[in-house]
Amino acid sequence: MTPQSANRVALTGSGGFLGRAVSSAFRARGIEVRRLVRREARAADEIGWDPSSAAPPEGLAACSAVIHLAGEPIADGRWTPERKDRILRSRVDGTRRIALALAARPGPLPALLCASGINIYGVRDDAAEEAEAPVAPGFLASVCRAWEAAAEPARAAGGRVVHLRMAPVLGRGGGVMGRLLPVFRAGLGGPLGDGRQPMAWIEIDDAIAAIAHLLARPDLDGPFTLVAPETVTQREFARALGRALRRPALLPTPAPLLRAIFGGMADELMLGGIRIRPRRLLDSGFVFRHPELQGALRHILQP
């Protein structure tokens, strides 16, 4: 059996916006990152794996943790039945394969830090604290519940499992800001619908720091909400981004138009919102560098 390295983590989703940033930041901290790729490994820092195969990825036993961020993008197209199935299966099947692979390993199990989403709380604007087992309607809430349940084999085998219930991540080079900046820089930005819906968010450096914090604390497990303490409305977000760019942000996108273009995705991702506090993360001693939106936008947009 290969001994675990306390300074080595396996990472899925390393080609995505957050995954690239996590990989770079962890390596800068002296953490060895092994990227799980969906093909044969071609480099020393890669581990080949096939999420549809029962064969476990080789090399996980030599890692102290697996950070599982992979999943079909949820906002890259209208939610047809086929896309909804891919969104669900990409999260549930891959998570279950990794959890089973970890559970089957002899000796100490690597920790599993698995992405999830604040969508598990459903559409809500009640400033609620985190719930251990929320039951909420909606497609994304059901996806997140199934996603988290898929990690259960690792927990049942005695492993530490942390669910990273992430808000939309704000940063340069992709994600939400990659979509919004060209529109707002052109002076065409504005609120979606009536703009009153809450918009939860987290700045990318804080998201990475929170993952590192949870990785370094073996006493922490279960769900943690990765969201900035300040939740704004969609209208406030549009105004703040417009001010940061010195552009107008007055053009609302009518709700009927959004529903006509995006279907059910519009109600859950654009016209609905979630207000939630990162209670467990704050109680664990984590300190946000960018707890307020205006400061986070200044940091993201600085030259």
Structural domain contains residue 297: no
Residue-level pLDDT at 264: 82
Q: What is the DSSP letter of 114?
A: E
Structural domain contains residue 91: yes
Interstrand relation of 198-199 and 232-233 (parallel, antiparallel or unpaired): antiparallel
Q: Residue 122: which CATH number?
A: 3.40.50.720
Residue-level pLDDT at 1: 44
Least confident of 19-28, 54-63, 79-88, 171-180: 54-63
Structural domain contains residue 124: yes
251 residue type, one letter: L
Structural domain contains residue 14: yes
Structural domain contains residue 248: no
Alpha-carbon gap, residue 278 to 269, rounded angstroms = 20
Q: How many CA atoms lie within 13 A of 198 on its CB side?
A: 22
Is the predicted pLDDT of residue 253 greater than 50, yes or no?
A: yes
Structural domain contains residue 54: yes
- Helix axes of 17-28 and 204-216: crossing angle, nearest 10 degrees: 60
Q: Model pTM greater than 0.85? A: yes
Please tell me the total count of domains within the chain. 1
Least confident of 19-33, 55-69, 85-99: 55-69
Domain of 156 in residue numbering reads as 5-171+202-227+275-288
Structural domain contains residue 303: no
Structural domain contains residue 268: no
